[in-house]
Amino acid sequence: MGNEYINSMYRQNLENDIICYLAEICGREIREMADVYFSSKLAVQVEQGIYGIDNMDYKYLANDLLENEPELFAQ
């Protein structure tokens, strides 16, 4: 397995952890939180590995998303 594949799998797991944690702390469905996450700036940053953000803790990133993109959660 190459590094690119491993990095891709790591990012996928990180995204899954962020989405599941958001669902847990917001008391909402996983599918709904997936839609929120994938429409966020954070998703782009994680995918591109900007600033090494993909190496941060999923709980920190989920809370950062709640704090910095609250409009995504308003419904």
Q: What angle do CA 50, 55, 56 make, to 5 degrees?
A: 100
pLDDT, tens digit, 9 for 90 and up, residues 34-57: 999 999 999 999 999 888 898 899
Distance CA 53, CA 71 (A): 21
Overall average pLDDT of the 8-17 stretch = 94
Q: What is the mean pLDDT of the chain?
A: 93
